[in-house]
Amino acid sequence: MDSRNWENFLLPYEQAVEELKVKFKTMRSELKKREEYAPIEFVTGRVKRISSILEKAERLDVPMDNLEEGIEDIAGIRIMCQFVEDIRRVAEYIRSRKDLTVLYEKDYITNYKESGYRSFHMIIRYPIQTALEHKVVLAEIQIRTLAMNFWATIEHSLNYKYRGGLPGDMRLRLQKSAQAASVLDSEMSSIREEILAAQKTFEDDANIVSTMLKTINRLYSYHLVAEAISYQEQFNQLFLNRDFDSMKDMLAEIKAIMAAKHVEEPEDEH
Ligand code: 0O2
Ligand code: 0O2
């Protein structure tokens, strides 16, 4: 394939990666709003580089006219989760989607690789509509925790540096650090409830501050200037003391005044 053919060949994969990134990022924000917790921390994606496609084709003995079926990760999406438990949930959401088909799954969490690599992989078929055609492409979704991602990213760069021939002691140290990452995941799972509660408190406190400021602003715009100034001063004091409980009470009080005076409330933050 010359460079122009490569460009055309990769176009549908670029589109698939862009679409899938948007879909999973949207899934994250939707779940965060609906359930106050998103099992997705962040999403990345990439189209495999031509050099990596060529190397993989050579390694797996895939002929150049069968790259579309023979190399399953030309389009790659990576979903990072906080906790191991989240991975199953995300996989379940993916299985139930109607805009893609799961071809098969590889569970490198139950059966981690000899290198120490852990992740959950799903190979999917994903239909795309380009300007010229309707096409179904293969894509790989890797779902992993932040600890698994940290390890895999470092190991990937080292492997690249040593071109697959990692020195023995380095391989051993990486296997050990993979175990450490696995212990870290288990530890985090065991305090999951406390972590989630802390994250929720942080979100709630941040939301009450912005709702409060918007509400005080609303008082100004309805010419309730004396009330606005007084509440602003009280808010400043409460914020200094990080007294979010009293802020909630004060917000309820302002809302009652607004209702009595028929002032429209600003929308609550999620
Ligand atoms: P490589 O693998 O070094 O050849 P955004 O534009 O904000 O949505 P952002 O932050 O630019 O996304 O990140 P992007 O482009 O999605 O991914 C950044 C890097 O993460 C890539 O670097 C990849 O190394 C790696 N990566 C992300 N997702 C995947 C994936 O699903 N599979 C694999 N194998 N690697 C991934 P490069 O330089 O583009 O690619
Ligand atoms: P890149 O640069 O990430 O795109 P293989 O096992 O390699 O013969 P297959 O069947 O595609 O081929 O395998 P697998 O094992 O499911 O691996 C697919 C992808 O998982 C790899 O893509 C890596 O992204 C990741 N992966 C698998 N094993 C390891 C590992 O030991 N360490 C790290 N860091 N990542 C791993 P590519 O094409 O190898 O590379």
Output the domain CATH number for residue 7: 3.30.460.10
Q: How far is the C-alpha of 149 from the C-alpha of 137, rounded, in Å? A: 25
Residues with active-site annotation? 140
Q: Are residues 146 and 225 in the same domain?
A: no
3-state helix, strand, coil in the chain (%, to 5): 60, 15, 25
Sheet of 42-47: strand order equals 42-47, 75-81, 134-145, 120-129, 101-107
Q: Are residues 98 and 165 in the same domain?
A: yes
Taking only the tens place, the pLDDT of each residue in 139-195 is: 999 999 999 999 999 999 998 888 768 888 999 999 999 999 999 999 999 988 888
| pTM to 2 decimal places | 0.79
Tell me which ligand sits closest to the C-alpha of residue 160.
2
Q: Are residues 149 and 204 in the same domain?
A: no
Last residue of a domain, one of 169, 202, 223: 169
Q: Are residues 11 and 70 in the same domain?
A: yes
Q: Are residues 212 and 146 in the same domain?
A: no
Q: Are residues 237 and 109 in the same domain?
A: no
In a domain, 177, yes or no: no
In a domain, 184, yes or no: no
Apex CA 152: angle with CA 149 and CA 155, to 5°?
Answer: 150
In a domain, 162, yes or no: yes
Ligand 1 centre to CA of 76 (Å) is 8
Question: Atom 10 of ligand 2 has which residue's CA nearest to it?
Answer: 72
Q: Are residues 151 and 77 in the same domain?
A: yes
Lining ligand 2 with CB less than 6 A are 48, 52, 56, 73, 106, 113, 115, 117, 121, 152, 155-156
Ligand 1 centre to CA of 48 (Å) is 9
pLDDT at position 162 is: 83
pLDDT at position 82 is: 95
Interacting residues of 99 by C-beta distance below 8 A, sequence separation 6+? 23, 126, 127
Percent of the chain with pLDDT over 70: 98
In a domain, 174, yes or no: no
Ligand 2 centre to CA of 152 (Å) is 10
Residue 210 belongs to domain spanning = 194-260
Q: Closest ligand 2 atom to the C-alpha of 114?
A: 31
The total number of structural domains in the chain stands at 2
Taking only the tens place, the pLDDT of each residue in 89-134 is: 999 999 999 999 999 999 999 999 999 999 999 999 999 999 889 9
In a domain, 55, yes or no: yes
Residue 56 beta carbon below 6 angstroms from any ligand 1 atom = no
In a domain, 270, yes or no: no
Q: Are residues 112 and 245 in the same domain?
A: no
In a domain, 12, yes or no: yes
CB 115 within 8 A of CB 175: yes
pLDDT at position 132 is: 87
In a domain, 96, yes or no: yes
Task: Give the pLDDT band (50/70/90) at residue 253.
Answer: very high
Taking only the tens place, the pLDDT of each residue in 180-229 is: 999 999 999 998 888 888 888 998 899 999 999 999 999 998 889 999 99
Last residue of a domain, one of 105, 134, 169: 169
pLDDT at position 193 is: 83
